[in-house]
Amino acid sequence: MINTFMPINRILMGPGPSNVHPKVLKALSKPALGHLDPQFIELMDEIKDILRYTFKTENDATFVLSGPGSLGMEACLINLVQPGDKVVVCVGGYFANRMTQIVEKIGGKVVVVKETWGRAIDPNKLEYALKQNPDSKVVAFVHAETSTGALSDIKTLSEIVHKYNALVIADTVTSLGAVEVQIDKWEIDAAYSCSQKGLSCVAGMSPITFSQRAVDHIKNRKIPVQSWFNDLNLLLSYWSGPGKRVYHHTAPSNQFYGLHEALLLLKEEGIENSWSRHKENSLKLISRLKELGLEPLVPENERIPNLLTIKVPDGVDEAQVRMDLLNKHNLEIGVGLGELAGKVWRIGLMGYNSNERMIDYFIKSLKEVL
């Protein structure tokens, strides 16, 4: 006999998802609505407004894709890149490398700016690449590289890109809501994120924003966007169409409820307060970890505050530590990816989980396991 599925309520302190606020879980259980219901259209407009606050932008083309952050990555690239375009991608980790794969599938010509895993992108390397490739159309980079814990100075990177008249795409998957993001001030042309990290909602939603410059570029493409679902022209007809909106897809209404509630909670706290909270709790956790003899991989001024990569000490079985934390303490942390596989643990202290109670529980559990 098959019974109703009842998952164990884990403590999620890996790279995402993070635990979901009880108010968000409650919002997810509200009655479903049709994707063109007037109530749902009103909800979509409210989500757009609060997302503009969250991204710190006035962009009209700010909305949510019904899919994970990877869908947002593909949406930005496939709309802004045409076959034959030269695209500079700053690669210092697993997810930036994924950008290069998407560009290649589109038919773009990739120029890689390579950075050491665990370090922020060096602006001088980007400037050199653009001097060598002044005909580049787009530059893409990751703000907070989830695989390494490194936070790049995308304000400076964006300033360099615009000197060469290219468009900027920024991955804010791990930073949005937890780290300062200023889309308009930093002149980011396109950015995307996810719902399950700093926003503390369930996975499956990708907030996204395009500047007017980016929208104009897309509308003047010589080659149509090489995707139906991710074509910005079609998406805007659903999200911003005058009067009766054009059907695009069956949006997951309950996930929209959850995201709306998560964004409301963030706005109630104040996004600047959220940035400060994540920074303060990160410093507390680092201090406690150092007392155990554990060291972070990333230099202090380049660390993502809400996602820390911690070096695995010599002689310690990193996989066994993770399994013991999960089985004995119901606590999940992340494994190293790519070049860092087996060398680090990734510890998330994001959104609803960024508090002293979580820090205390994690340190106590880790002490026992080690």
| pLDDT in the model for residue 241 | 65
What length does the chain have?
Answer: 370
Q: What is the pLDDT of residues 21-56, one digit of tens each?
A: 999 999 999 999 998 899 999 999 999 999 999 999
Encoding tokens for residue 102? 């998407």
Predicted confidence (pLDDT) per residue in 159-214, tens digit: 999 999 999 999 999 999 999 999 999 999 999 999 999 999 999 999 999 999 99
Q: Are strands 167-171 and 144-145 parallel, antiparallel or unpaired?
A: unpaired
Q: 160 Cβ partners below 8 Å, 6+ apart?
A: 123, 126, 127, 130
Q: Are 308 and 296 in contact (CB under 8 A)?
A: yes
In order of their start, the domains of the chain are 11-16+272-369 (3.90.1150.10), 22-266 (3.40.640.10)
pLDDT of amino acid 154: 98
For residue 13, give both structure tokens. Answer: 């302190």
Residue 243 is predicted with a pLDDT of: 63
Among the listed residues 268, 265, 366, the one whose alpha carbon sits nearest the alpha carbon of residue 18: 265
Contact residues for 169 (Cβ-Cβ < 8 A; gap 6+): 76, 77, 80, 99, 138, 139, 140, 141, 188, 189, 190, 191
Three-class SS state of 266: helix
Task: Give, in degrees to the nearest 5, the angle at Cα 207 between 11 and 230.
Answer: 125
At 94, is the secondary structure helix, strand, or coil?
helix
pLDDT < 70 positions in the chain = 241-244
Residue 222, classified by CB atoms within 10 Å of its CB into exposed (0-12), middle (13-18) or buried (19+), is exposed
Distance CA 191, CA 315 (A): 41
182 is written with which tokens?
Answer: 């200023």
Q: Rounded to two decimals, what is the model's pTM?
A: 0.96
Angstrom CA distances, 361 to 278, 291, 353, 357, 358, stand at 17, 15, 11, 6, 5
